[in-house]
């Protein structure tokens, strides 16, 4: 157990990518991305994929390695990431993992709850209901079928909500029945580094990032993806709002404000998720790197 996975967490736009690259360079190692939005090669601008300069500064894995047409689950990511970590730990004692997808990071660190396979038609039907009727009827359905999951998962996250519902509907059992069973041990230790900032600063950074995305061509990127808007990978902030603009439901100005608002909501959910984790070691979003490196050097024993 001399292998260490240093995990960088925090809300979107907080500076995780920059810190992870500094850490990778400091330890002469490589980076595992667990940002589920950045897996897809067709989605660059709207997912804030690291720039070519950033990708060249440190070796990254699981960045734009999939297509939006692939059916890629958190369970498959767990298997792929653990396999990659085994390969990397042969030549490195420290690996960096970074990303805003708490569920994906947790799958690598602690293991995933495994669920029976259910018909893909159930998910397709639920996605259609979401598109036609909005999220509230699905939330009410989960409350009816599985009150424990309704009270514990992020019910305003369409992916999590639909996942819980498809298990309930497809198995006739509750989603919560399949959770929290014993999981396989890991062959590495994990140290979690969290970046934090006052809410006003965090929201200002988010708003600025959205403006930059629009300047860099997010509208054109979304337009290319519009014909496939029903795909699961595209049910995400930054694209959904622009699809509404293309449908004539939003003005462009309103769509942009909705992207900012929904990204702020997403960041709030990330903060809530991370607050539950008592193992995270928190630093200001603009830390002196020496503070973090000193902390890690003391704890890498």
Q: Is 184 part of any known ligand binding site?
A: no
Nearest to 42 by CA among 62, 61, 66, 60: 66
Q: In this structure, are residues 221 and 238 in contact, taking their beta carbons and an 8 Å threshold? A: no
Q: Is 143 part of any known ligand binding site?
A: no
Give the containing element (helix H, strand E) for 128.
helix 120-133
Q: Tell me the Cα Rg of the chain.
A: 19
Q: Is 11 part of any known ligand binding site?
A: yes
- According to DSSP, residue 224 is labeled H
Q: Is 13 part of any known ligand binding site?
A: yes
* Residues pairing with 178 in the sheet: none
> Tokens representing 30?
């490589």
Burial class (CB in 10 A: 0-12, 13-18, 19+), 185: exposed
Q: At what angle do helices 102-110 and 252-275 cross, to 10 degrees?
A: 30
Nearest to 264 by CA among 161, 150, 106, 156: 156
CB atoms closer than 10 angstroms to residue 100: 28
Q: Is 81 part of any known ligand binding site?
A: no
Q: Is 208 part of any known ligand binding site?
A: no
> In degrees, to the nearest 5, what angle opens at C-alpha 54 toward C-alphas 196 and 191?
45
Q: Is 111 part of any known ligand binding site?
A: no
Q: In this structure, are residues 274 and 197 in contact, taking their beta carbons and an 8 Å threshold? A: no
Q: Is 14 part of any known ligand binding site?
A: yes
Alpha-carbon distances of 104 from 64, 93, 208, rounded to whole Å = 16, 22, 26
Q: In this structure, are residues 8 and 92 in contact, taking their beta carbons and an 8 Å threshold? A: no
> Tokens representing 98?
């970074």
Enumerate the known binding-site residues for ATP.
Answer: 10-17
Enumerate the known binding-site residues.
Answer: 10-17
Enumerate the known binding-site residues for substrate.
Answer: 12-17
């Amino acid at each position: 157990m001399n292998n260490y996975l240093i995990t960088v967490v925090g809300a979107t736009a907080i500076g995780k990518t920059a810190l992870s690259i500094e850490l990778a360079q400091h330890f002469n190692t490589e980076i595992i991305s667990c940002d589920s939005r950045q897996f897809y090669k067709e989605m660059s601008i709207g997912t804030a994929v690291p720039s070519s300069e950033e990708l060249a500064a440190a070796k990254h894995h699981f960045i734009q390695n999939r297509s939006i047409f692939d059916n890629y689950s958190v369970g498959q990511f767990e298997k792929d990431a653990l396999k990659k970590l085994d390969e990397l730990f042969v030549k490195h004692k420290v690996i960096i993992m970074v990303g805003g997808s708490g569920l994906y990071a947790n799958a690598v660190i602690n293991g995933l709850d495994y669920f029976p396979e259910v018909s893909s038609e159930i998910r397709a039907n639920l996605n259609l209901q979401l598109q036609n009727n909005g999220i509230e009827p699905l939330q009410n359905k989960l409350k009816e079928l599985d009150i424990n999951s309704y009270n514990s998962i992020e019910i305003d996250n369409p992916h999590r909500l639909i996942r819980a519902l498809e298990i309930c509907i497809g198995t006739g059992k509750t989603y919560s029945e399949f959770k929290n069973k014993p999981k396989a041990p890991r062959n590495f230790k994990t140290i979690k580094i969290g970046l934090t900032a006052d809410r006003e600063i965090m929201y200002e950074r988010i708003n600025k990032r959205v403006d930059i995305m629009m300047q860099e061509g997010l509208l054109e990127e979304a337009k290319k993806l519009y014909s496939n808007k029903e795909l699961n990978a595209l049910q995400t902030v930054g694209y959904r709002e622009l699809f509404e603009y293309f449908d004539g439901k939003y003005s462009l100005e309103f769509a942009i404000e909705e992207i900012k608002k929904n990204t702020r909501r997403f960041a709030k959910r990330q903060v809530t998720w991370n607050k539950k984790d008592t193992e995270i070691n928190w630093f200001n979003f603009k830390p002196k790197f020496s503070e973090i490196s000193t902390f890690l050097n003391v704890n890498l024993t």
